[in-house]
Structure 1
């Protein structure tokens, strides 16, 4: 069992008193201190402080420290008392993952799912002339369309160890430590460490100092967050429907799902010596929550789908990153997975550098060239 809920769902999902159970449109209130603009400003301030630290700022020496508490407090108040609004729920989820880690992320996804399930017809923002995309735009922003959305980075930055000899470490720190090990020049490697880089030795020390019970909760919270996201995306597919061409109108979801699955794989590698009977693998997307994965004799999980095959390759790549950091195997496997997810025209455009040869091949085999940006 994972961490207790960080939200009061009964309060958040109670209908707003009045004619409309989803309350009023927040953006129509322009009064001083209007709730929508208060939470928007609080989120902007927290994100600006994060960017400042990312680019070399120092909260210890007087810089602003990212404070997501006002976003949590305002978001809960708005959703419970003023308006059932997907944009506010998305901002609240951004804040929850910073404040409560994977348990907060899990509850954010569960809250959004419950809002969609219970208030869909009246949920804010309401569709405009562009239809459903306007309503689900805040969720699109979490995942991103052309690039990573605002939730992808924070997923990898959730602390998974406790603070001890070093600060609490995350999956992002683990990736950095692996990359650092690949630097052959010892002087350059030490320079990175002196400027805040995390070495593999530092990360392994942080893991060894973290109580087993903490890792048990982290693993379960992460799995529950992934399950909650799968349930949310399935519901959105059903609610949003399709356009005239038969394409789904649901928000894209692969970036968040991939981030969660990769974190599960990395966490499994980091803690496999603590849980020898369970390497931390996640159930496949086609599997319902709580249903055990089928496995042949010997304990090896059978690969049934394309997504599972890619996930297995990423887990193998993570193993080689940890055990053979100087080996090219992990890079080759990760590249193979990336190529495998590309449409054929994009893959050939990347593999064939000469434009003339590429266009000749496209014409020969009848492939429509990818549109130029």
Structure 2
């Protein structure tokens, strides 16, 4: 049975509100900037169960402002990506489903009006790059959706489950490979922490009713169907050569498989009839790595190709080394490449006097004032 919607998908891809003034440059508007401010948050990667999803981010505001832009200002793909993240952070897998549906409907019904506009020569790289930002943004949001609750308000996610189970063998190897006492001590401490977390999660799983995990799996299955629809039309529009949503696909498959495993652990019928394994993803990690290696090999022909490869690199490190800062630094670089210079400086330099001096040195002050007056 389909779950109720979190948002009116048709409204977001329908005609603009009466009296609205569409703007092809929504990225320079006040609402766009307000969304970026509302999204500023600390990534909820912790050394234990997540306590919140983005401490300071106002995801409800992100959804509201994204809706405002899409219904009044422009059908901007970048804003839609933010909308999908906001819905996922706010409503979990049902929000993910609805956000992906909006993306699909936009490609079906608003193709000629989507922003960024198609280049005069028909080039679609700008659009494809915006859409492929889903590969960078959504895996983290999906990983941190709460899937279990413990008394006292402690929340566990797919990320926590993986840390308490899938990483243990890797940490055992790190202990054995340590060359100094200090390295061995750090590795052993991490192993002990992961083992304790896994034991806690196993107790929560045993105390959680089957119906809870079955419901979550149903939600993810509907989100998976929505992804499949988006992937089909995106491949049709942008072509299979060079364009991919593979990192997002792999994260959704991983999460769906985990939920299916939890259903079977609680005595339910799995989507697949293979036996439950203690570490079902270990073999797939090797296969996925080999597949990605072959997928990204070859010459980079365009700027969009380079951005896609950076996104794959970020996702590889996020999946294989979740505690490493590398994926977040690469992700930031990908996001920065879309920014105008002045916007990049504003994000990088927080001190207003320093920012003003830098802009004056670069000759940006007069240009900025002129653009605002126009």
- Confirm or deny a common fold (TM above 0.5): yes
Is residue 83 of structure 2 the alignment partner of residue 92 of structure 1?
yes
Deviation at 1:126, TM superposition (A): 0.8
Contact in 2 for aligned 1:90/1:139 (Cα 8 Å): yes
C-alpha distance after superposition, 1:178-208 (max 9, x if no partner): 1464456899788448979862221122223
Deviation at 1:345, TM superposition (A): 11
Taking structure 1 as the reference length, what is the TM-score of the superposition? 0.64
What's 1:35 paired with?
31
Q: Counterparts of 1:79-118 in structure 2 under 5 Å?
A: 79-118=70-109
Distance 2:68 2:210 in 1: 36
C-alpha distance after superposition, 1:65-86 (max 9, x if no partner): 3332221111122212322211
Secondary structure of the corresponding residue to residue 40 of structure 1: helix
Distance 2:187 2:163 in 1: 12
C-alpha distance after superposition, 1:319-350 (max 9, x if no partner): 1427xxxxxxx64563245335543996xxxx
Alignment match of 1:213 (pick from 188, 211, 214): 211
Taking structure 2 as the reference length, what is the TM-score of the superposition? 0.64
Contact in 2 for aligned 1:267/1:280 (Cα 8 Å): no
Q: Counterparts of 1:39-78 in structure 2 under 5 Å?
A: 39-43=35-39, 45-46=40-41, 49-50=42-43, 54=45, 65-78=56-69
What's 2:164 paired with?
177
Q: Specify every segment of 5 or more residues in structure 1 that has no aligned partner in the other structure, as ranges.
A: 144-148, 282-298, 301-315, 323-329, 347-373
Secondary structure of the corresponding residue to residue 161 of structure 1: strand
Deviation at 1:216, TM superposition (A): 2.2
Bigger shift: residues 93-102 or 180-189: 180-189
Contact in 2 for aligned 1:69/1:95 (Cα 8 Å): yes
Deviation at 1:263, TM superposition (A): 1.2
Alignment match of 1:334 (pick from 280, 285, 301): 285
Distance 1:198 1:76 in 2: 43
Contact in 2 for aligned 1:86/1:123 (Cα 8 Å): yes
Deviation at 1:177, TM superposition (A): 0.7
What's 2:154 paired with?
167
Contact in 2 for aligned 1:165/1:206 (Cα 8 Å): no
Q: Counterparts of 1:202-281 in structure 2 under 5 Å?
A: 202-240=200-238, 242=239, 248=241, 251-276=243-268, 278-281=269-272
Q: Higher relative contact order by CA 8 Å / sep ≥ 6: 1 or 2?
A: 2
C-alpha distance after superposition, 1:97-133 (max 9, x if no partner): 1111111111000011111111111112212367211
Compared CA separation, residues 138 and 169, structure 1 to 2 (3 A) = same
Contact in 2 for aligned 1:12/1:76 (Cα 8 Å): yes
Contact in 1 for aligned 2:10/2:102 (Cα 8 Å): no
Q: Return the structure number with greater helix share.
A: 2
Compared CA separation, residues 332 and 280, structure 1 to 2 (3 A) = closer
- How many aligned positions are there? 282
Secondary structure of the corresponding residue to residue 113 of structure 2: coil
Compared CA separation, residues 332 and 2, structure 1 to 2 (3 A) = same
Compared CA separation, residues 109 and 90, structure 1 to 2 (3 A) = same
Contact in 1 for aligned 2:100/2:230 (Cα 8 Å): yes
Is residue 129 of structure 2 the alignment partner of residue 141 of structure 1?
no
C-alpha distance after superposition, 1:126-168 (max 9, x if no partner): 123672111232211111xxxxx12122222211113425622
